[in-house]
Amino acid sequence: MSARATPPLDGIRVVELGGIGPVPHAGMLLASLGADVVRVERSGAEPDERAWDGTRRGRTVISADLKSAEDVRRIRALVAAADVLVEGFRPGAAERTGLGPDELRALNPGLVYGRMTGWGQHGPWAGRAGHDINYIGLTGALHAIGDDRPLPPLNLVGDFGGGSAYLVLGVVSALVRRGRTGEGCEIDAAIVDGTGSLMQLIWSLRADGRWQDRRAANLLDGGTPFYRTYRCADGGWMAVGALEPVFYRAMLDGLGLTGPDVPDRADPARWPELEALLASTFASRPRRHWESVFEGTDACVTPVLTMDEAPAHPHMAARSVLRNDPGGVLAAAAPREAGAEASYLTASTHLSVDEALRRWREPTAPRS
């Protein structure tokens, strides 16, 4: 945010019970929107144990033993001054520590209690262990991604797309409602739910007969010659998203493929020929050549940048999306207020539970 902008969650206090994957990412998103996030790590963990993980920045970090009645008492006192709590334990685990939603909302009726799991709070698999690949495997999403075998799309679809983003949406929506009613609520955010929601367009295409239930055979999964990646002469890659006819024609113009011998893209039977032609053309020149050819065009042909290249790309640099820091690349806060400069969360601050509680008990402006 710019120096003049007030972050949208300024004044909102969040307790984040330590976890991995979507929970710290949700805490990062809430902190980047201006929330004051206190992350509770297990006692005995080294202060820099997770220093490599940029999703844990921008917090106050405290250590506590959730098996200690005294530490739980202190955490409950912290929650009494909070607006939001987020946790990622298996169903029932928070209740066994004395930090379940019923107990805490009796203490703080306005509390928004956000629960993040893979399988959800109920259902036959609710108590099972799992990771991103397991959760999205149950939704149809993993089956749809890949070529000869399903390929995990990093952990972007499950942990973050279907997980933390939906948890934050639920939390922020509950805060809006609390502003009208004064009452908090419990949010059940499950990766299987969020991923199912992300898949809605694909389900609709399937129902309309426009999506086959197999990989690399459809419009958006690399099955079409005009929506996929192509290798260049230097080993680099170009991404082609020339779906609409006007974009497709611009791509052919850039490739110098304008004669009558170009296979008709409207005929799926000729797609293998078209794909071979496009592949051989892209492979004839290095990536930098094709970047130059398609610069400033609406052909929807762009480079596939490596992780090392991405921060320095002119567009990424102009928006300050990524910043090289001594500890690694940092992503700017997102979303950002229109016109505001990019901002980056700072390193976390370590305090004792009592120090964090004293800070929150200091007088502040009224909260929403």
Give the pLDDT confidence of 277-306 residue by residue, as tens digits.
999 999 999 999 999 999 999 999 999 999
Confidence tier at 367 by pLDDT (50, 70, 90): very low
Catalytic residue flag (residue 193): no
Decide which of 364 and 240 is more confident: 240
Torsions phi, psi of 290, nearest 5? -70, -35
d(CA 19, CA 29): 15
Torsions phi, psi of 302, nearest 5? -140, 160
192 touches 120 (CB < 8 A): yes
* Residue among 36, 71, 83, 159 flagged as catalytic: 159
Q: Is it the case that residue 20 has pLDDT exceeding 90?
A: no
Catalytic residue flag (residue 131): yes
Average pLDDT, the chain: 93
Torsions phi, psi of 131, nearest 5? -135, 175
Question: What pLDDT shows up at residue 50?
Answer: 53
Instruction: Pull the structure tokens for residue 54.
Output: 């940029």
Question: What pLDDT shows up at residue 364?
Answer: 55
Cis peptide before 8 (omega within 30 of 0): no
As a whole number, mean pLDDT of residues 129-139 equals 98
Q: What would the 3-class secondary structure string for the chain be? A: CCCCCCCCCCCCEEEEECCCCHHHHHHHHHHHCCCEEEEEEECCCCCCCCCCCHHHCCCEEEEECCCCHHHHHHHHHHHHCCCEEEECCCCCHHHHHCCCHHHHHHHCCCCEEEEEECCCCCCCCCCCCCCHHHHHHCCCHHHHCECCCECCCCCHHHHHHHHHHHHHHHHHHHHHHHHHHCCCEEEEEEHHHHHHHHCHHHHHHHHCCCCCCCCCCCCCCCCCCCEEEEECCCCCEEEEECCCHHHHHHHHHHHCCCCCCCCCCCCHHHHHHHHHHHHHHHCCCCHHHHHHHHCCCCCCEEECCCCCCHHHCHHHHHCCCEEEECCEEEECCCCCCCCCCCCCCCCCEECCHHHHHHHHHCCCCCCC
Closest CA to 354 of 81, 85, 58, 32: 81
**Hey, how many other C-beta atoms are within 10 angstroms of the C-beta on 294?**
21
Radius of gyration of the chain (CA): 24
Q: Is it the case that residue 360 has pLDDT exceeding 70?
A: yes
**Hey, how many other C-beta atoms are within 10 angstroms of the C-beta on 179?**
11
d(CA 293, CA 313): 17
The model's pTM = 0.93
Closest CA to 113 of 76, 85, 81: 85
Distances (CA, A) of 36 to 11, 28, 30, 122, 291: 7, 10, 8, 30, 43
Question: What pLDDT shows up at residue 366?
Answer: 43
Torsions phi, psi of 274, nearest 5? -65, -45
* Residue among 131, 143, 289, 350 flagged as catalytic: 131
82 touches 184 (CB < 8 A): no
Confidence tier at 14 by pLDDT (50, 70, 90): very high
Confidence tier at 86 by pLDDT (50, 70, 90): very high
86 touches 23 (CB < 8 A): yes
d(CA 286, CA 277): 16
Distances (CA, A) of 343 to 2, 93, 136, 287: 7, 36, 32, 32
Confidence tier at 26 by pLDDT (50, 70, 90): very high
**Hey, how many other C-beta atoms are within 10 angstroms of the C-beta on 205?**
15
Beta bridge partners of 85: 15, 113
